[in-house]
Chain A
Amino acid sequence: MTETLVSFDAATGRYDPVIGLETHVELGTASKMFCGCPASFGAEPNTQVCPVCLGLPGSLPVVNAVAIESAIRIGLALNCAIASWCRFARKNYFYPDMPKNFQISQYDEPLCTNGWLDVTIHPEGAPPQQIRVEIERVHLEEDTGKTQHMGGATGRIHGADYSLVDYNRAGIPLVEIVTKPITGTGPLAPLAARAYVAELRDLLRALGVSDVRMEEGSLRCDVNTSIAPKGSDRWGTRTETKNVNSLRSVERSVRFEIERQAALLDAGHRIVLETRHFHEDSGITTPGRSKEEAQDYRYFPEPDLVPVAPPADWVETLRAALPELPSARRARFQSEWNLSDHDMAALTNAGALDLVAETVAAGAPPEARKWWLGPILERANAQGSTLPGLATLAGISKLGAHGEVLTPERALAWHVARVDELVADGKLNDKLARQVLDGVLAGEGSPDEVIATRGLAIVSDDTALLAAIDEAIAAKPDIAQKIRDGKTAAAGVFVGAVMKATRGQADAARVRELILQRLQ
C-alpha cells in the first residue's frame, strides 16, 4: 500500500497539528476487575476464567476495591478532580472477544476529570520545552479476551478462516486516561505525543499501579491526529490510530498521519473520520472501521453495580500517601546534583536518571554519572539495547546490604559506584575502569572480582615502577639529559614507555613524579 505523503517539514510548515491520546493501562491488581480470577499475564489459555469473566448467564460483577483505589490515585497524580459520586455504564456492541457483548466501562460519569500533566519535550539541537497536557478524564473499565486468527496467509484478521479466543485477559482492570486536544506544538507534535506517553508511563510506574510494559500490552495508546491550515480557527477532522504499542511508534504514527493528511488536504481531498491501524514494520497507518458508520453503543447505567461514591477523607488519605512523582523527583535530582538543563536532558534522554540515582544511593558522587553516559551507554548502543535493558541483558546479580537480591539495574548501579570509588582511591585509572566495567557487563562478577581475575589493579609498588623507569632512562640517555637540563616536559616520553611496559596498569601521575625525582 502506497500513500502520497508530504514531507514532514513541508506539512508542518503549512498545517498545525492537533493531537489527543487515549491510553489504556492494565492495573497490576492481584485479581480481576469484577471477579477473583488472577489478573496475571501468561497463564495457559482459559485457565484464569470463572462464570463472571466468562460472562456466563446468571453471573454478576463485584468491583475490586484496589482497582478503584488505583484509579483514584492515578487521577490524583494527574491533578484531577475525583467524582464524589459516579457510576459504571454498559457499552453495548458485539465482538467475540467480549464475553457479555457489552463492556462495563464508564460513560458520562467518570471517576476522575479535568487534570493535567506537565511534560518536557527534548527537541534535537534545541533547548528542552515544557508543555502542560490537559487530562479530560480517567475512568475504569474491563479488558477483553485475546483472539488468535487462524488460517489464511498472514495470521491476521483479514483472510482468516476462523479464530480462537482465550478469555484469560477478559476482565482485567483497565484504566483509560484521555487527554484533551493538545494544540500549539507545531512540528513538535510527534515528540510531544511521545513525551506525554513516556511521562505518563513513568508516573504510573512511580505509583506502582501497573507494570506499564508496552510490549506486553499493559500500556496501550490510541492516538488521535488532525491538522488544519495554519491560522485556521477550526480544527481538522481527526483520525484515531489504535493500539500504538511503543514510544517510538507513538511518535512515528503522529508523524505519518501529519504527512498523510497534509497530502490529502493539499490535493483537495477531505479527511475521513476513521479508525486506523499502525504497522510497526513499515511505520504507516492503514484504515480500519469508518467512524461515520460507527456503532451506537447504547450506553446506560450498569444495573448490576451500585454507584461509587469515594468518601472525601479516603480520597485525602490517598492523596497524602502519593509517592514522589517523576517530575518532582527530577527537579529534586537536578537541584541536589547541581545539573544544568542540558546535563539533565542528557541523563533523561539516556534513560539514566534512575540508574544514577541508584549509583548515588550506593555512595558515589553525582559525577559518577559519567560512567553511565560514557562507556556503559556506548556499549548499550553497540548492542542495540538501553541502559536499564543492558543490566538485565548482562544477567548481573548482587545481594544488597541486608542479603536481599537486588534488581539487575540496582546491582549494576552498585558496581558502578564501586568502580568510581576505586578510581577516586587511585586504585584504577580511567582506562582500567573501562576494562573493569566491560568485565562486569560481560558477567564476570563484581568490579573487585574482575580486577582480580583480569589482573587489572594499578601498579602502585614504587620499586617495580622504578625498575621500569631506570630501564627507560637507560634506553634514551639523551632525553634524560634534557630533563636534567630543566626541560621537564620531555618526561612524557618516559611516562609513555613506563605505561607501555606496565600494560597501562600504572598511575601516570605517580610515574611522572618518580621520573622527575630520579633525574634531579
Chain B
Amino acid sequence: MSITRDEVAHLARLARLSLADAELGHLAAQLDQIISAVARVQEVTAEDVPPTSHAVPLTNVFRPDQVAPCLTAQEALAAAPAVEQQRFRVPRILAED
C-alpha cells in the first residue's frame, strides 16, 4: 500500500476537494496503483544529477518598471459570482492565516 485512504482524505482537504465517500475509496485505490507505478523514478541512481525545473535554461528575464493599462473594475468583476461595493463578494472566511 503506497497511500492510505486517510492520506488521500487529508490531501483532498489540503487541495479543497470535497469528495463523497465512494469517490474517495475509488480514488484512493487508483492513486495507490498510480503511485506504485510512478515510484519507479526512485530506481534511478541520480546522486550527482542536478534537478531540472526548466528544460530550456534561461535566466534574468525582467520587464522594465513601467505602468501598463489595467482592466476596468467592470471587466475585472464581470465574471465574479457575486459583487458588492465594486469588490468581489466571498463567503465568510474562517480564520486569518
Contact = CB atoms under 8 A, between A and B. Distances in A.
Interface of A: 29-31, 35-38, 44-51, 54, 62-68, 85, 87, 93-96, 147-150, 157, 160-167, 242, 275, 277, 288-289, 295-296, 298, 301, 303, 305-311
A309 B65 contact: no
Nearest to B97: A95
A516 to B, nearest CB: 71
Nearest to A156: B96
Contacts of B84: 150, 164
Given A31-B67, A166-B87, A44 B73 contact: yes
Contact of A48 (B70, B92, B93): B70
A165 B85 CA distance: 10
A309 B58 CA distance: 10
A64 B65 contact: yes
B22 interface: no
Given A46-B77, A147-B93, A30 B66 contact: yes
B12 interface: no
Contacts, number: 137
A46 B62 contact: no
Nearest to A243: B96
Contact of A163 (B58, B62, B68, B93): B93
Given A46-B73, A164-B87, A306-B58, A31 B93 contact: no
Interface of B: 14, 16, 53-54, 57-73, 76-77, 84-93, 95-97
Contacts of A289: 95-97
Contact of A66 (B65, B69, B71): B65
B16, B60, B86: most-surrounded residue (chain A CB, <10 A): B60
B71 to A, nearest CB: 5
B91 A44 contact: no
Contacts of B69: 36, 50
Contacts of B93: 95-96, 147, 149, 157, 160, 163
Nearest to B64: A65
Contacts of A242: 96
Contacts of B90: 96, 162-165
B51 to A, nearest CB: 9
B71 A63 contact: no
Given A93-B97, A162-B91, A163-B90, A67 B65 contact: yes
Given A49-B71, A94-B16, A288 B86 contact: no
Contacts of A311: 60
A37 B68 contact: yes
Contacts of B14: 295-296, 298
B68 A157 contact: no
Majority-rule SS of A interface residues = loop
A392 B75 CA distance: 39
B96 A62 contact: no
B77 A63 contact: no
A37 B76 CA distance: 13
A62 B64 CA distance: 10
B68 A36 contact: yes
A44 to B, nearest CB: 7
B64, B84, B92: most-surrounded residue (chain A CB, <10 A): B92
B60, B62, B65, B85: most-surrounded residue (chain A CB, <10 A): B65
Given A157-B95, A161-B92, A306 B73 contact: no
Given A94-B16, A309-B60, A44 B95 contact: no
Given A46-B77, A49-B70, A63 B95 contact: no
A47 B70 contact: yes
B54 A306 contact: yes
Closest 4 CB pairs of A and B: A36-B68, A66-B65, A65-B62, A164-B87
A202 to B, nearest CB: 24
B56 to A, nearest CB: 9
Given A37-B67, A54-B76, A164-B84, A288 B96 contact: yes
Given A50-B71, A308-B59, A167 B65 contact: no
30 contacts: A29-B65, A30-B65, A31-B66, A31-B67, A31-B68, A47-B73, A47-B76, A49-B70, A49-B76, A62-B61, A63-B61, A63-B62, A64-B62, A65-B64, A67-B65, A95-B93, A96-B93, A147-B93, A160-B92, A163-B93, A165-B87, A167-B76, A288-B96, A289-B96, A289-B97, A301-B53, A306-B60, A306-B61, A307-B54, A310-B60
B65 A38 contact: no
Contact of A36 (B57, B59, B62, B66): B66
Contacts of B57: 306
Contacts of B71: 49-51, 54
A68 B62 contact: yes
Contacts of A66: 64-65
B54 A288 contact: no
B97 A46 contact: no
Given A30-B67, A31-B65, A46 B87 contact: yes
Nearest to B95: A289
Given A48-B70, A49-B70, A96-B90, 19 more contacts: A29-B65, A31-B65, A45-B73, A46-B76, A47-B70, A65-B63, A66-B64, A87-B53, A95-B93, A150-B84, A160-B93, A162-B89, A164-B89, A165-B87, A296-B14, A298-B14, A303-B53, A307-B58, A310-B60
